[in-house]
Structure 1
Amino acid sequence: MQTLIQSALHKLQSEKRQAVEAYCARRQVPVFFERHTQAVERALAVLWTALFSDSTMCLLATGGFGRGEMYPYSDVDLALVSPEPLTEKQQEKAGIFVQALWDMQLAPAVKSGSVEELCESVCEDITGDTAFLEARFLFGNHDLAKQLLQQLDLQRDTSAFIEAKMLEMQQRHAKSQGSGALLEPNIKTCPGGLRDIHTMLWLARVQGLAMPLTTLISQGVVTRPEAVMLLNSHKKLAAIRIDLHLAAGRSEDRLIFDLQTQVAENMGWHDDEHRIKSEKLMRVFYRAGKTVMQLNGILLPMLRGRVYSQAGRIVCRIDDDYYQVGNQLAVYDKKLFTRRPEHLWKAIGILQTRKDILTLAPKTLRNWWAASRKINRAFYGNPENRRRFAGFFKHGEGLTHVMRFLNLYGALERYLPAWGKIVGLLQHDLFHIYPVDDHILTVLHNMRRLAMDSRSHELPFASALMHAFEKQHILYLAALFHDIAKGRGGDHSIEGVADARRFAADHFLSKEESSLLAWLVENHLLMSAVAQKEDIQDPDVIDSFCERVETQERLTALYLLTVADIRGTNPKLWNSWRAGLLENLFHAAARRLAGESGSRTVVVGRRRQGAADQLTRAGTPEKQQRKLWQALGPAYFVRHELREILWHTANLVHQTEAPQVRSRILPDSGTLEVMVFMPNQPRLFARLCRIFSRHSFDILAARAFVTEHGYILDTFIVQLPPGRAAADYPNVQSALEAEINNFIHGCDTTAGHTACGIRSRRSRHLPIAPGVHLSAEQDSPGWYTLEIVAVNRPYLLADIAEVLSEQEISLRYAKIATLDERVEDSFVLFSPHLENPKKQLALKQALLAQLSA
């Protein structure tokens, strides 16, 4: 038997290798499936002849093997059927058969038993029942196979099967909504993946509709263009899955970062000046998946409706052209959209304004989609169409649903050609997790939620501003256009302005509305950059920001767009600490725009007076307060906001020369604020950063400050370790405080911890180039600003600080911006010897070496 297995294994491996070589040479997916399936069948035939040639049993191919869709490392789904329950001898042979399949490296998934047993086994197993739906006779007793399949058909409840598969698909899609799902999608189970195609075919097959698709065309279930689109999408997705298996050398259905580049290269893509090969691969994948989802919206309801067509339906007339059937919109004349294209937008307008209508009826959707593919310049040039499109935004309610629908079915990119360039376009910047079109629509969704009364509890301050804002439709349009110029190679904020202005002129916006829209598109990154990268406690920073903003209307609009944008970029980026940064900047700018003095003297006086009032209420003597003010110095009140000042001074006023550490958990954010006060020493900042990294804290923000009497007063905002429950936070906080407390009192626990840490798979396979920019501050000899962009990793900030210390550079201020796996940090440095160009070059080289480690 072993000799037989070895011989069959060698032949199988040779035939599979030939199938792979032929595929790599010609890339013919159907041919690969056929050759691979036949190779497996020939191997099975050898085993069947050796073990069951004189048996009354039969062997069926089920599941993917049954439908002939065998990938390089697919399981081999089989059913071993006997007329009666297996005897002991038959069970022994079945065990030998299954083991032989494993020895031949075929990964078998075998069901065995009598007809009655197998029928009973799938009664409550929708997956098993589905596998038998695609069963195909291989060897043995043909009449027995026919008996099993007939019995399964008789006991199968068609309507229950359809409902179960629809629910299964919904649950599968829900599991694909995590932040990593779009970056590393499962090509088999994600929305628009291969399993969605299979679901359409299962719903047809369970109703007795003949295959293949060409037959379904003649039966009026699928149109010829739909069949072509479905076949093309299947070929693209199947090709990616074949290459994914080959690149992984195993059964792997996730397009993980580790394999994306190799798969893209194997499929013939190459890097160019605009796109890397993995981006090209993923864009093809997203577009193929989008087509499957488009067809899903038509074919699944249509196939489902065939079973329920006899059920009573509630039909209501809307007007001469439209009627409502259930919760769907239908048309009397199936050629309405072709004859009168303006109804393409009119139908969507009804969908938006009628809350009792959720979608278009399948046949209406099919005709709407076919007509929408003819949207052109003439359609755009019709003023009525432009008014209706602008009306979607002015109405507001249901806008997200409308725009997602138009994007899914390609109407948005045909109406706005610039949109087509961003569909499925990935952003490999280590913090965006959505393709550009999905990101924009998520930002639009976030903006709409701010306007909804039912969602005002989520972000009360932003919602209150949104409700009071008169030009909400401009905010929706700003969300639509803010990233529309991504991927063109230039500054998308600048290039998008022309698109926004053209749209405004064509869609009857007033001069003021057009100006606000263009300004928001051009400056949509301004508030985020200032809040996260600059010292917003500095009055000069606020003055500069207000010079760009100019009006309260612009400030409010920009704040709302920034909130919606950050929340639509990556769920990891939004927390109460980052929200507080934006809100603080908004209030500071609003006071300045309202005429409040912003001179340093006034600001320092106001913040110092606020701290003095608190200390006085607490009974702190004025003499003690003056001692604290003298130790901190006036620069302290410029660098820190009042909230921090009140916290610091309450802890420091009675111990201005005693080292101490204090921390507090910030509400609703999963972040911890830590204050460290101790005599200044070399490398202190770096050693403190190492303590945080060793405790698995991610440093989101850091403020390094040296007092007038030579102490450091460093404040850190750190992300609590991932995977820890809120109930564990106090314990984590206590452990961190204890170690820092030991450190500030002379017990240095940081020695020997020099590891660079492990980068994420995403950053290893889709890295960004590190950037170092050093600039001298005007009118301040010896003072410099250092800006760094790099991949985030443990110990990164500590390693940067170590470089500065080795170069004998004094770190006076740090502003850390951690954006998921990307950092954009800025530092204020003091070092007179940096006037020497060679010293500057040495610093940059040392930093780049560390950032690239």
Structure 2
Amino acid sequence: MNDLGIPRQREIIDRRALAEAIAAAWEAEGEKSRPAVVAILKQALDDGRAEIARRLDAKPSAGHECTAGQSFLIDQLVRLIYDHIVAHVYPPGNRLQGERLTIMAVGGYGRAEMAPHSDVDIAFLTPGKRVPWCEQVIESILYFLWDLQLKVGHSSRTIDDSIRLAREDVTIRTALLEGRYVWGDQELYDEASHRFRKDVVAGTEREFVADKLAERNDRHKRMGDSRYVVEPNVKDGKGGLRDLQTLYWIGKYIHRVRSAADLVDAELFTQAEYRSFRRAEGFLLAVRCHMHIITGRAEDRLTFDLQREVAERMNFADRPGKSAVERFMQYYFLQAKRVGSLTGIFLAHIDETFAKRRRRTGLLAGFNPKPRMLKGYKVDGGRIAAPSDDWFRKDPVRLIEIFQIAEEHQLEIHPETMRIADRDSGLIRREVRDDPRANALFLDLLCGRNDPEMVLRWMNEASVFGRFVPDFGKVNAQMQFDMYHHYTVDEHTIRAIGLLNQIEKGELKVDHPRATKLIHKLASRRALYVAVLLHDIAKGRGGDHSVLGADVAEELCPRFGLDDAETELVAWLVRFHLLMSSTAQKRDLTDPKTIEDFVGEVQSLERLKNLAILTAVDIRAVGPGTWNSWKGQLIGELYDAAQERLRLGHVRHGRKERVEAKKAMVRERLGERAALVDEIGGLLDDAYWIAEPDDIIALNLVQYQVAREIEEHLSIHCEYYEARGATLVSIIAADHPGLFYRIAGGIHLAGGNIIDARIHTSRRGYAVDNFLVQDPLGQPFREDGQIERLRKSIADALGNRIELVPRLAQRPLARNRAKAFDVRPRVVFDNSASNRFTVLEVTARDRPALLNRLARALFESNLVVHSAHVTNYGERATDTFYVTDLTGHKVEGKGRMSQIEERLLEAASDERQAELEDA
């Protein structure tokens, strides 16, 4: 009998005392004792769980102790139930040969890795066709377990059935592989184990490994195929518990190991690697146990709200520049990374095991191709390997060289060599980091033309990357605790380098046509690659990571071998890597001051070209769907305007010339209706002609004319606008105070998010407003039903046919995960960003109708909104408004600004949202 090595077992559950209590209950009440027996067992279960939780609270990282304790608790309960049934309820009397029964623990229960709310997976084994006594006992055991409110997974089979099904189904085979004797007939269990080894395992090792690895790959794809997703699945995600279990299953199947420790004796791990395995497993098990205790259920996804609580329970504390939750998640990802390294090492040994067993037959029986040599390294079967165990110790620069050669010649690195590189990575000290040859090799790898992303990831897995570039080591596995970034900082950076490589090879021409052209016109491609490497290098240090990162760049670039001009460019790009995206998404690009300020910072075409490409890969590397045609269009508009200004030293045309040029383009678009440019267009001022694209102006003029002909005082036109990846909503209505916030409310009620808004008023007092709208997932409304719902909702809002405030308050938050973040509303006034308008920037927690509430606050503050721009960063939204007062002047005066700020903060606050929902 295996007691699972649990200390102070009777503090968890005292089986002897409980057995006596159950026997006493039976003696007192006989067959009517069932409720009393269930109550005894239920109390024991509750007390045991409480004791295990107390132990975890005292030792928050003791994952093995917690899961083994939980398994021990269930073992003892199952034994008590079995003994009670066999002794009192269904005593076998003169037991027949067929009246034999074995209870096996399988799954996580079989491995003794049960979190507090894990399923209880049990297999009942009988020698042959089940006799009535066996069926009665099995049924009674299950009813007792269900009465204890345990979630039970169970099977009941004969040994022959088990063997037959195990041959056919790899899931059943895996369950039997980790089957553990709990109670009942020991000889029957031993017979089943022997049969399983002889009739199922023998000769099927290669097939089992292939099935398990295919199963693992499919699971990784379902879970995001990265161990660095910011809400990882602790059990099934890449680098999670299931990956460790897969190693154990394979080792057990091939080498007959009984525990993970036996993997050392099988020479699949060194002692140090096993300790690393055990440490990673213990930490992941502890995290899972904490999650179960917090939620009161079987929860495996480490969501943002759980991350805070688990970090607190595991005693992680804030440090300068890093919160407790970020430190906890960094440690989590380091363990997940270690799991990946161990997997590579393990599978290399398995591969070699099979290779040794493989025997050639026929004419090729005596033929073994010799590996070729490449710069001192062995190359065999597409893999590069160190020729000896002390290869890197003799010359640590080789730790950089092997990865550069692998990238240049498109080779994989042999897992055993990866293992040696990981072991020897500590040899990379200052003299290696300062070695010109080492830095030249690293730069060649970083700027490699084949697949630098993959090889840099290998380099990171082997701990070589962080040793050679210690600043990169500091962001290794560092998460950014927000809903915007999908990956850790190191993973985001490596992905961005991969995207840059794809753009250079023309593989992303459809999504990034401008960047694909520009990248071949740069003065120094290597400066851009280094800038991408360093753009987030100073995250987590406290302070502005862009400013701190520029300082790092000034130190590192000369070391890498970049000249003064390249160093200056890289430092500038790192310092201002957010400038282009921020300007494009938060500012009015038709305002000349926006372009002047942007160009004043950029100052050269070379910087502009580099910044445009860096901006594209940075946004795209944030996560799937972050880059879209809307952002591409905005950045393209900013690039074109800035390029014209930089090339000519001034804007090619003045205001009057720009308006006339726009009118000419619209006339061409309108064709037979070109006269509308003068008839209707004359009612709109120059600001409208400069702000709107020619295609939207053409639509507006036709819409205005049709509305006038049919004497329609409210005209709403909605259509899918492919150029921006959004739905265009054009509204012509009699202008009146509050029009903007009512339109915004109607759009929100239809399920739309406004991403851009331009508000104009004709000389006859009619508003001509254009909105770009997407759904909560960033997709346009395209279907007829969606567009009609949008149109009707706006019409109802403007016609006062619905009460906006209570209806908007009833709408659920699109992503409740945002509540896990502390986003304090902030209001910034900027009177220098525009010559005509005050620019108001409001940052708050993103939620439905935020723009509507802010617009209402602006209306109540007697401000006129001329344009609005909405930017989302996960849980945060930044809404930018170009406003004037009712007389058309900028907002000035501290007292006036304070009043407006107070109104906006109230509208943006979570407390205000709660009040609305209560109402």
- Say yes or no: does 1:785 pair with 2:839: yes
Which moves more between the two structures, 556-565 or 661-670?
661-670
Distance 2:841 2:477 in 1: 32
1:196 to 222, 234, 243: 243
- Gap runs ≥5 in structure 2: 1-33, 93-98, 361-367, 911-919
Matched position secondary structure for 1:556: helix
Query: Residue 99 in 1 paired to residue 143 in 2?
Result: yes
Partners of 2:148 and 2:802 lie apart in 1 by: 59
**Equivalent of residue 124 in structure 1, options 168, 172, 177:** 168
Q: Which amino acid aligns with 2:52?
A: A
Q: Residue 38 of structure 1 is aligned with which of 68, 72, 78?
A: 72
3-state DSSP of counterpart to 1:755:
helix
Matches of 1:643 and 1:518, distance apart in 2: 40
Provide, for residues 152-199 of structure 1, a one-character-per-residue CA deviation record: whole Å limited to 9, x for no partner: 222131111111111111111111118998232110111111111111
> Structure 1 residues 183 and 212 mapped into 2: Cα distance closer, same or farther (>3 Å)?
same
What is the aligned partner in structure 1 of residue 11 from structure 2? none
Secondary structure class of the residue paired with 2:125: strand
Sequence identity percentage: 26
Kindly indicate whether the alpha-carbon contact (under 8 Å) linking 1:67 and 1:134 is maintained by their aligned counterparts in 2. yes
CA contact (8 A) 1:184 1:255 kept: yes
> Once the two structures are superposed, what CA deviation does each residue of 1:437-484 show, in whole Å capped at 9, x if it has no partner?
111112112111101234434433321222343522222211110111
State the distance in 2 between where 1:491 and 1:159 align: 53
Q: Distance in 1 between matches of 2:669 and 2:885?
A: 42
Paired letter, 2:680: L
- In structure 2, distance between residues paired with 1:765 and 1:593: 44
**CA–CA separation in structure 2 for the residues paired with 1:849 and 1:493:** 31
Residue among 718, 722, 734 paired with 1:667: 722
Tell whether the 8 Å contact from 2:858 to 2:864 is kept in structure 1 after alignment. Answer: yes
SS of the residue corresponding to residue 192 of structure 1 reads coil
Distance in structure 2 (CA, Å) of the matches to 1:694 and 1:314: 70
Question: Which residue is 1:427 aligned to?
Answer: 480
Residues 314 and 730 of structure 1: is their aligned pair in 2 closer, same or farther, counting only changes over 3 Å? farther
Return the alpha-carbon distance in structure 1 between the equivalents of residues 527 and 726 of structure 2.
Answer: 34
Distance 1:84 1:667, change over 3 A: same
Aligned residue for 2:45?
12
For residues 648-663 of structure 1, what are the structure 2 equivalents within 5 Å? Answer: 648-652=700-704, 659-663=714-718
- Where does residue 538 of structure 1 map in the other structure? 591
1:136 matched to 2:180: yes
Cα deviation for residue 653 of structure 1 reads 5.4
Task: Pick closer, same or farther for the CA change 1:211–1:668 going to 2, 3 Å.
Answer: farther
Which residue is 2:680 aligned to? Answer: 628
Does 2:509 correspond to 1:456? Answer: yes
The match for 1:173 is 220
Give the corresponding residue for 2:871: 817
Which of 700, 704, 707 aligns to 2:762? It is 707
1:440 corresponds, among 493, 496, 507, to 493
Distance in 2 of aligned mates of 1:280 and 1:185? 15
- The structure-2 alpha-carbon separation of the partners of 1:75 and 1:441, relative to structure 1 and needing over 3 Å to count, comes to same
1:224 corresponds in structure 2 to 271
Query: What's the counterpart of residue 654 of structure 2?
Result: 602
Residues in 1 aligned to 2:170 and 2:399: alpha-carbon distance in whole angstroms: 39
Is it true that 1:242 corresponds to 2:289 in the alignment? yes
Moved more, 207-216 or 250-259: 207-216
CA distance in 2, matches of 1:74, 1:453: 49
Q: Deviations over 1:533-583 (max 9, x none)?
A: 111112232222222222222211111111111111233332112111111
| Residue ranges of structure 1 left out of the alignment (5+ in a row) | none
In the TM superposition, 1:478-497 aligns within 5 A as 478-497=531-550
Compute the displacement of 1:81 (Å).
0.5
CA distance in 1: counterparts of 2:151 and 2:793, whole angstroms: 52
Instruction: Check whether the contact 1:433–1:569 (CA below 8 A) recurs between aligned residues.
Output: yes
Structure-2 separation of matches of 1:164 and 1:631: 72
CA contact (8 A) 1:534 1:541 kept: yes
What is aligned with 2:471?
A: 418
Alpha-carbon contact 1:479-1:561 (below 8 Å) kept: yes
Equivalents in 1 of 2:796, 2:624: separation in Å? 36
Q: Secondary structure at the match of 1:677?
A: strand
**Farther off after superposition, 199-208 or 819-828:** 819-828
- The equivalent of 1:362 in structure 2 is 415
Name the structure 2 match of 1:842.
899
- Check the 8 A contact 2:839/2:880 in 1, yes or no: yes
Deviation of the 1:821 alpha carbon: 3.2
Which of 573, 596, 599 is 2:626 aligned to?
A: 573
Q: 2:861, 2:900 within 8 Å by CA — same for their partners in 1? A: yes
1:301: which partner in 2? 348
TM-aligned CA distance change 1:450 to 1:604, over 3 Å: farther
Deviation at 1:63, TM superposition (A): 1.9
Q: Does the CA-based 8 Å contact 1:677-1:713 persist in structure 2?
A: yes
One-letter code of the match for 2:688?
A: Y
Relative to 1, partners in 2 of residues 1:566 and 1:336: Cα closer, same or farther, differing over 3 Å? same
Query: How far apart in 1 are the matches of 2:723 and 2:111?
Result: 51
Q: Name the SS of the counterpart of 2:416 in structure 1.
A: helix
Equivalent residue letter for 2:855: A
SS at match of 1:828: strand
**Partner in structure 1 of residue 854 of structure 2:** 800
Q: Secondary structure in 1 aligned to 2:625?
A: helix
Give, in whole Å, the separation in 1 of the partners of 2:729 and 2:586.
Answer: 20
- Per-residue deviation at 1:607? 4.0
Letter in 1 for 2:137: K
Q: CA deviation at 1:779?
A: 10
CA distance in 2, matches of 1:224, 1:89: 49
- Distance (Å, rounded) in 1 between the aligned partners of 2:265 and 2:864: 79
State which drifts further: 219-228 or 451-460. Answer: 451-460
Of residues 98-107 and 188-197 in structure 1, the stretch that sits farther from structure 2 once superposed is 98-107
What SS is found at the alignment partner of 1:59?
strand
Aligned length: 848
CA deviation digits over 1:24-70, x for unaligned, max 9? 12343333334322222111111111334644111112222222212
Question: Counterpart of 2:840 in 1: which secondary structure?
Answer: strand
Structure 2 residue 619 is the aligned partner of structure 1 residue 590:
no
2:128 corresponding residue in structure 1: 84
User: Counterparts in 2 of 1:716-727, with a 5 A limit?
Assistant: 716-720=771-775, 722=777
Asked if the contact 1:787–1:825 (Cα under 8 Å) also holds between the matched residues in 2, the reply is yes
In 2, Cα distance between the equivalents of 1:778 and 1:567? 28
* SS of equivalent residue, structure 1 residue 139: strand
Counterpart of 1:406 in structure 2 is: 459
Q: Distance in 2 between matches of 1:306 and 1:639?
A: 69
Aligned counterparts of 1:413 and 1:222: Cα–Cα separation in 2? 24
Matched, 1:324 2:379: yes
Tell me the distance in 2 between the aligned counterparts of 1:299 and 1:269.
31
In 1, Cα distance between equivalents of 2:193 and 2:833: 84
Contact 2:742 2:798 (C-alpha < 8 Å) held by counterparts: no
The answer to which of 27-36 and 146-155 deviates more is 27-36
CA deviation digits over 1:83-129, x for unaligned, max 9? 11223443233222112111123322111110011122233322221
- Is the partner of 1:303 in helix, strand or coil? helix
Q: Per the alignment, do residues 180 and 721 of structure 1 end up closer, same or farther by CA in structure 2, a change over 3 Å counting?
A: farther
Given the superposition, is the C-alpha separation of residues 669 and 572 from structure 1 closer, same or farther in structure 2, using an over 3 Å criterion?
farther
Report the more deviating stretch, 131-140 or 680-689.
131-140
Q: 1:761 aligns with which of 811, 816, 819?
A: 816
Q: How far apart, in 2, do the equivalents of 1:92 and 1:649 lie?
A: 83
**Secondary structure of 1:324's aligned partner:** strand
- Name the SS for the 1:543 alignment partner: helix
For each residue in 1:2-36, what CA deviation from the matched residue of structure 2 results, as whole angstroms up to 9, or x when unmatched?
33232222223222322221221234333333432
Contact 2:326 2:479 in 1 (8 A): yes
Moved more, 680-689 or 150-159: 150-159
Question: Is the contact between residue 660 and residue 744 of structure 1 (CA under 8 Å) also seen in structure 2?
Answer: no
More off after superposition, 378-387 vs 793-802: 378-387
Query: Aligned partners of 2:788 and 2:419: how far apart in 1?
Result: 62
Cα RMSD after superposing both structures: 2.7
- Superposed displacement of residue 610, structure 1: 3.0
* Alpha-carbon distance in 1 for matches of 2:261, 2:846: 52
TM superposition shift of 1:737: 2.7
